[in-house]
Structure formats: structure tokens, C-alpha cells
Amino acid sequence: MKKLLAIFITLVLFLPLAFGQSEEKKHSWLRLFDSNYLGRLSKNKFAPDSTSNKFGIYGSRDSPKSINNPYSIYGSAAQSEFSSGSNSPLIRGEDGTYLGRLNRNRFDADSISNPFGRYGSKFSPDSINNPYGKYGSPYSPYSATNPYAIETPKIYAPTAPQYELPGLSDPLDSLLDDLWEDTPY
């Protein structure tokens, strides 16, 4: 019975990793069930996870996980708690660099709409609004404004802070080790 349970857990958790998951998901057990992923901030209209693909789950005006849906909690600017401040969706580069928050608040220090802030300025290297920067140039493979880029910034919904258990580097590994330890080969 323990062997079947261990095989089932292994298949459920690691089978999706074999089919093109990103390195970020392979290394972080907290991202295996990533319900807060809201797509890629990209001008690519054909990428399945682009916010510009109006037929995709993250770009459709009808999808509840789309920032383009004015009635979803992520797309509504007037009624949503995610419209400004620390409750708004955050943007991360493919390499894990924090690129600010996706909201319209011009006074929020982390907002991409703040023209004087680190993440909204046209001159900041960490801004998607910098036409000469890594994340804003129309020629950069990491840019949100390059329609041919495949490693564009990702959008995530805000979540509660995640804590690791003290003394365990990866709790999932220790759980699987315990399951396999009790299983006769």
C-alpha cells in the first residue's frame, strides 16, 4: 500500500515536470500547484500564455484569470482590491528579477505606472517602460514589448508569504524520502 501511495504521489507531482515546465517550477516545490500564475506580459498575440492572446486563458476578456477581463478580480481597476498597492499582481522576469506591480497607481513606489519610480521610469534598468533596457526594449528576448520574445516577464497574483519548515531544505524531498524508505524494493 505504501509503495502504491509513493508511486501515485511521484506521478502526480513529477509527471508534469517532464512535459516542458520551466526551470523555476522544477526547482521550487511551492510552484508545483501554481494557482497564482496570471500569464506572460507580452505583445505576442499567438503565445498560449500571453496576455495579448485574446483567445488564450490569460488574455481573453472572458477568462477569470485574465488581467484583460474588466469583471475579474485581476482586471477590474475600479472594484478590485488588486487594483493598487501591495495587493496588485506582481511582475517577474524570466530570470526571477522583480519588475514591479501591475497597477495604475502613479504614486505607488512599486507600480509600473509610476513615471518616477524604479519600476515605471523610462530610465530604470528594471523597468518594462525603458525602451533601451533588458525588459522594455523591442529587440530584447526578455522584453514585454518584443512580439517575438519567448522569455517575457510573468505576472503573478499576490499571495500570502510562504514559509519553509526549519531544518528542512525541501519538505517535499524529505516527504518522498520517508515514503520510499519504508517501501521494500
Give the helix ranges, DSSP H, for 36-170: none
pTM for the complete prediction? 0.64
How wide is the angle at C-alpha 48 spanned by C-alphas 128 and 160, nearest 5°?
60
Residue 159 pLDDT > 90: no
Mean pLDDT of 14-30: 44
The pLDDT, as a whole number, for residue 163 is: 41
Residue 77 pLDDT > 60: no
The pLDDT, as a whole number, for residue 115 is: 93
Write down the mean pLDDT value for the chain: 75
The pLDDT, as a whole number, for residue 10 is: 65
For residue 145, how many C-alpha atoms fall within 13 Å in the half-sphere facing its CB? 14
Check residues 41 and 163 and name the one with the higher pLDDT: 41
CA dihedral 53, 30, 151, 111 (to 10 degrees): 70
